[in-house]
Structure 1
Amino acid sequence: MDVISEAVEGLRIGRAYGRRIEAPGGRVGRSTGFVGVGFHVVLGGQGWLISEDQPPVRVGKGDVVLAPHGAPHGFWPSPDALHTLPIMAMGPVPPPDGPDGLDFICGAYRLDTGGTLHPYLRSLPPVLTVTPDPVLSALVQVLAADMTQHRPGAEVTRPALVDLTLIHVLRIWHDTTGGKPWQALGDPVIAAALHLIHERPQDPWTVERLSRTAGLSRTAFTRRFTARVGTPPMAYVISSRLTRGARMLRETDAPLATIASRVGYATEFAFSGAFRREFGMAPGRFRQSRG
Structure 2
Amino acid sequence: MDILSDVVAAMRTGVPHSNRTVVRAPWYTHFPAQGNSAGFHVVLQGSCWLLPDDGEPVHLQVGDVAFLPRSRGHAIADRRDGEPGHTAAGRGVETVLLCGAYSLDSSREHPAVGELPDVVHLPARVGHYSPLRAAIDLLGHEIDTRDGSGAIAPLLEVLLLFMLRAWYESHPADSGWVAALRDPDIYAALAAIHCEPGAPWTVQSLAARAGLSRSVFAQRFTATLGTGPLTYLTWWRMTGAAKLLRETDVLLRVIAEKSGYTSEYAFAKAFKREFGVAPGRFRAQGRAEAA
Q: Same fold (TM over 0.5)?
A: yes
Q: Which one scores higher on RCO, CA 8 angstroms, separation ≥ 6?
A: 1
C-alpha change, 1:235 and 1:164, in structure 2 (3 Å) is same
* Matched residue type, 1:255: L
SS of residue matched to 2:179: coil
**8 Å Cα contact 1:16/1:108 also seen in 2:** no
Aligned-pair identity in percent equals 30
Q: Does 1:185 align with 2:184?
A: no
**8 Å Cα contact 2:181/2:187 also seen in 1:** yes
Q: How far 1:45 moved relative to its partner? A: 4.7
Partner of 2:102: 109
* Matched residue type, 1:58: H
C-alpha change, 1:222 and 1:78, in structure 2 (3 Å) is farther
TM-score, normalised by the number of residues in structure 1 = 0.69
Partner of 1:166: 160
Partner of 2:76: 75
C-alpha change, 1:116 and 1:143, in structure 2 (3 Å) is farther
Gaps of 5+ in 2: 125-131
**8 Å Cα contact 1:130/1:169 also seen in 2:** no
Q: How far 1:159 moved relative to its partner? A: 3.3
* Matched residue type, 1:160: P
Whole-angstrom CA distance in 1 between matches of 2:220 and 2:277: 25
C-alpha change, 1:96 and 1:239, in structure 2 (3 Å) is farther
**8 Å Cα contact 1:184/1:191 also seen in 2:** yes
* Matched residue type, 2:213: G
Whole-angstrom CA distance in 2 between matches of 1:16 and 1:85: 31
Q: Does 1:121 align with 2:113?
A: yes
Partner of 1:215: 213
**8 Å Cα contact 1:50/1:56 also seen in 2:** yes
**8 Å Cα contact 2:43/2:64 also seen in 1:** yes
Give matches, 1:35-74, under 5 Å: 35=36, 37-51=38-52, 56-70=57-71, 73-74=74-75
**8 Å Cα contact 1:45/1:103 also seen in 2:** yes
Q: Does 1:228 align with 2:224?
A: yes
Whole-angstrom CA distance in 2 between matches of 1:10 and 1:145: 31
* Matched residue type, 1:110: S
Q: How far 1:262 moved relative to its partner? A: 0.5
Whole-angstrom CA distance in 2 between matches of 1:109 and 1:278: 27
C-alpha change, 1:122 and 1:161, in structure 2 (3 Å) is same
How many residues are treated as equivalent by the alignment?
271
Whole-angstrom CA distance in 1 between matches of 2:32 and 2:166: 24
* Matched residue type, 1:224: R
Whole-angstrom CA distance in 2 between matches of 1:279 and 1:145: 47
Whole-angstrom CA distance in 1 between matches of 2:30 and 2:18: 16
Deviations 1:42-90 (A, max 9, x none): 345532124589753322444321223555544234335xxx977xxxx
Gaps of 5+ in 1: 87-92
Q: How far 1:31 moved relative to its partner? A: 4.3
Whole-angstrom CA distance in 2 between matches of 1:263 and 1:40: 37
**8 Å Cα contact 1:47/1:78 also seen in 2:** yes
